[in-house]
Amino acid sequence: MRIGVLGSGLMGGKLGTILARAGHELVFSYARSERKLARLARDAKADARPGTPREAAERADAILLAVHWSRVDDVLGRAGDLSGKVIVTCTLPMNDDDSDLVVAHVSSGAEELARKVPEARIVAAFNTVPSEVLFDVYEARRKARRPSLLYYGDDRRAKNVAAELVRAVGFDPVDAGPLRVARHAEPSALLVARLAYEGKGGPELAYRIERFGK
């Protein structure tokens, strides 16, 4: 796939590097310096190049949205026409100091995003995982037991794209249902992040989701 990364920070930089190494064609865009984008593309050692958000979006089969919530409108505006585009969002609707969600309970960041770009096909994935584990998951991708990762959305084509990308990174994709599942997934992602970032002194966290019946 041709993948355009909008937001080349911790998530976009790592996911983009992994997806390029997995054989996809990458454009890294949207960082505060063009040199950083060029460095990411060079360090990926794969089919990756730096570009503007418009260049990242225009030929993309999938757009990876990985910016802070406060930058979403800006980067979408720079990306141009997103009609029919698949947007895989890992963006959480955080406030400016990243202490809390600004959208929750009766809506979610994923649903708000779908309202901002109604002409695009939105699916949420990767937002429930700390970026720190991504390279380890990718390195272990051929092991028998792969960690699961949720994705959710209302558009079948976008969900198929997300499942393929989730698999390429080394997770087993789990279809968690429609986009409104984000109302539950986004707050739980915040909980996981809080525990993960408490560092060595923090609690060890294990969580497991089981399905009962059908």
SS3 41: helix
SS3 152: strand
Cβ proximity of 121 and 87 under 8 Å? yes
Residues 134-173 binding ligand NAP (CB under 6 A) are none
Residues 29-68 binding ligand NAP (CB under 6 A) are 30-33, 36, 66-68
CA–CA distance from 29 to each of 5, 70, 193 (Å)? 6, 17, 25
The two structure tokens encoding residue 30: 């949207």
- Contact residue for ligand NAP among 111, 127, 153, 159 (CB under 6 A): 127
C-beta of 89: minimal distance to ligand NAP in Å? Answer: 8
The two structure tokens encoding residue 129: 């995982």
Regarding 78 and contact with ligand NAP (CB under 6 A), the answer is no
- Contact residue for ligand NAP among 4, 53, 62, 69 (CB under 6 A): 69
Q: What is the total count of residues that contact ligand NAP (CB under 6 A)?
A: 24
Residues 86-115 binding ligand NAP (CB under 6 A) are 90-92, 94
- Interface with ligand NAP by CB under 6 A: which range of 10-18, 149-157, 161-169, 199-207? 10-18
- Angle among Cα 152, 144, 130 to the nearest 5 degrees reads 45
Strands 62-65 and 148-153: unpaired
Task: Determine the Cα–Cα distance for residues 116 and 33; give it in Å rounded to an integer.
Answer: 26
Closer Cβ to ligand NAP, 33 or 99, answer by number: 33
C-beta of 79: minimal distance to ligand NAP in Å? Answer: 12
| Contacting positions for ligand NAP (CB under 6 A) | 7-12, 30-33, 36, 66-69, 71, 90-92, 94, 127, 130-131, 189
